[in-house]
Amino acid sequence: MKGFIKNIISVLSIWAILFIVSYFLSFNSTSYEGFATPHIMILTVVLIQIIFYFHSLIFKTDLLFDFIGSLTFITLVTIGFVFMVNPDFNKIFISFLLFLWASRLGIFLLFRRIKAKKDVRLQSFLRPPSRLFLLWNIQGIWIIFSSLPLIVVLSSKLEHDFGLLEWGGFSIWLIGFLVEVIADNQKRNFKIINSSSFINSGLWAYSRHPNYLGEILIWLGITVMSFKYLSGFGYIALITPLFVFVLLRYISGVPQLESIANDRWGGDDRYTEYKNKVGLLFPKLFND
């Protein structure tokens, strides 16, 4: 019972945070039939997670979890396009970059999940319904806080030229996208031949989690490209790169995978040497 109450309170807290964020983002934003575009976008994200929560609950599966996360990003881009005013190259280009990233990642994760048959990270969430409901809502808040620059840009009434700042942001995004794609493909190909070993080649020889490093750079680049559209409460979007970094480094990404890796190869001297030589996210400039 205590677990149920804790999970429900956590969900209500998430909804309260999203309501506050939606309220502040609505200032000076576009609207439709009296509803601010950020309200529509954020509510849609929450509803999608609730709908597929019931799919997970009924079929006792996490099969679509990551795929629906990526699909929700694409849905945000679509909504932004539908309600966009004063379109400019920046808005269209940022939308395209997010669509490209989400489409690639969603398809990659879906096929990886089908092949793996289960996601060990999520198994503990499948039993108590309230815990599963919390999991889907956590995904919702992750999507929204990651997408704050996108939400601000696509709901903005402003127009801006594509200049030096945007080129800089795009360069960061492109580096991050290439790092993520290359790292994912290197690990996938490695696991086909070495399913029981750890990867320490390619980009993985410089970072133990280069795919996460790539994602952090992707959102940093998007935030830089969005900077000219930020004003007033819209500056809240500047937390996105920090949010993604903290989430992946300290909460949901790196800690889980490091724990799994330590359980599998903690007694392997080669893995211990690998950990000592290779940085967690960022490459080590100097080795001991």
State pLDDT tens for residues 196-218: 899 999 999 999 999 999 999 99
Write out the two tokens for 169: 């942001």
What pLDDT was estimated at residue 4? 85
> What DSSP character marks residue 35?
E
Tokens for 46, please give them. Answer: 């929450």
Which pLDDT score, from 0 to 100, does residue 121 have?
A: 58
In angstroms, the CA 91 to CA 159 distance is: 9
More confident site: 1 or 17: 17
Buried b (16+ CB within 10 A) or exposed e, 135-154: bbbbbbbbbbbbbbbbbbbb
Q: What is the pLDDT of residues 91-108, one digit of tens each?
A: 999 999 999 999 999 999
Distance between CA atoms of 28 and 156, rounded to whole angstroms? 7
pLDDT of residue 149: 96
Please give the pLDDT value at position 286: 55
> pLDDT tens-digit profile of 52-61?
999 888 888 8
Q: Render pLDDT for 161-183 as a digit per residue (tens, 0 to 9).
A: 899 999 999 999 999 999 999 99
Q: Tell me what the mean pLDDT of segment 58-81 comes to.
A: 90
Instruction: Report the relative pairing of strands 35-36 and 31-32 from DSSP bridges.
Output: antiparallel
pLDDT > 70 fraction of the chain, expressed in percent and rounded: 95
Q: What is the DSSP string of 153-174?
A: HHTB-------HHHHHHHHHHH
Cα atoms in the Cβ-side hemisphere of radius 13 Å centred on 90:
31
Average pLDDT over residues 242-249: 95
For the ranges 79-83, 190-194, 284-288, which has the lowest average pLDDT?
Answer: 284-288
Q: Which residues pair with 31 in a beta bridge?
A: 36
* Residue 248 DSSP label: I
pLDDT number for residue 134: 92
Residue type, position 71, single letter: L
What's the mean pLDDT when you consider all of the chain? Answer: 90
Neighbour-count burial of 123, counting CB atoms closer than 10 A to its CB (0-12 exposed, 13-18 middle, 19+ buried): exposed
Residue with tokens 């999507």: 143
pLDDT score at 158: 87
pLDDT bin (cut points 50, 70, 90) of residue 195 is confident
Phi, psi (rounded to 5 degrees) for 86: 50, 55
Q: What is the predicted pLDDT for the residue at 252?
A: 84
- Three-state DSSP class for 88? coil
pLDDT at 126: 61
Tell if the pTM clears 0.75, that is, is over it: yes
Say whether pLDDT at 287 is over 60: no
